[in-house]
Amino acid sequence: MAVTVTPNIARLLVQLDDVSPAIRRRIEVPLNMRLDRLHWVMQIVMGWEDCHLYEFRVGRSISYGEPDPDWDFAESSRLPASGASLGDLLARIPGKSKKFTYVYDFGDNWRHTVKLEALVAAEAGATYPRLISAERACPPEDVGGPWVMRTISLPLVTRLTRAMPRCSNGAAKGLTPPASMWSRSNEISRRLPSAPQGD
C-alpha cells in the first residue's frame, strides 16, 4: 500500500525590491508557521535587526502585522500576524502563482517580494525553518531606504550608518553575505520562541 505524503513545507524565494544587484534568500518553512514567527525568520535570514514594524501584504486589501496604537485607526484592515499562518496567507492569494509582499520598516519602506516556489514534504531529520541559499547582504538598518541606496555609494552608506545610534549591536553590512549566513538555519530554530508554530 502506497503512503501519501502531504506537502507541509513551503519553499519561498525572497527578494528585496528596488535594490541592484539583487539581494535574495531561498528558505523553507512549515506551512503552519504563524506569520509573526515568519517575520522573525525573515529578520534573521535577511540580516535585519527587528527594530521596526512590519507587514505581510496580499494585494492592496489584505495585510497582516502587529497592532500599532500610534498609527492604527478604527477602520484599519490590518489583521494580527499572530492569528494567521503562512498557509492562511497563501490561501488568500488567487491563482496558481503565489506571491506576496513583506514590508519592513515603514520609514525606510523595505519591500520584499516573496514567491512560493514549491510545496514539498518535510525531509526526515531536517530542521525547519531553514535557509537554502543567500545572495548578497542586506543594506544597513536605518539607511533611508532603497532610494538612498541608489543615490549614494556603499562606502558612504557604511560610514553614515556606523555613526548612527543602533537599535541593537548590529554592524553595517557589505554586499557579500557573511560566512555565518550558512549556519543560520540552526540559529533560526534557536531564536524562535518555543511555542507551537501552528498555534
In whole angstroms, what is the distance from residue 118 CA to residue 123 CA?
A: 14
The enclosing H or E element of 147 equals: helix 146-151
What pTM was computed for the model?
0.75
Q: Is residue 3 part of a domain?
A: no
Q: Is residue 182 part of a domain?
A: yes
Q: What is the pLDDT along the chain (199 residues), one digit of tens a residue?
A: 555 557 899 999 999 998 888 899 999 999 999 999 999 999 999 988 888 899 999 988 889 998 766 665 545 568 999 999 999 999 999 988 999 999 998 888 889 999 999 999 999 999 999 999 998 888 877 777 666 666 665 555 555 445 444 444 333 333 334 444 444 444 554 555 444 444 4
Q: Is residue 87 part of a domain?
A: yes
Structural domain for 79, as ranges: 9-136+178-191
In whole angstroms, what is the distance from residue 70 CA to residue 198 CA?
A: 29
In this structure, what CATH number is given to the domain that contains residue 23?
A: 3.10.290.30
Domain count, the chain: 1
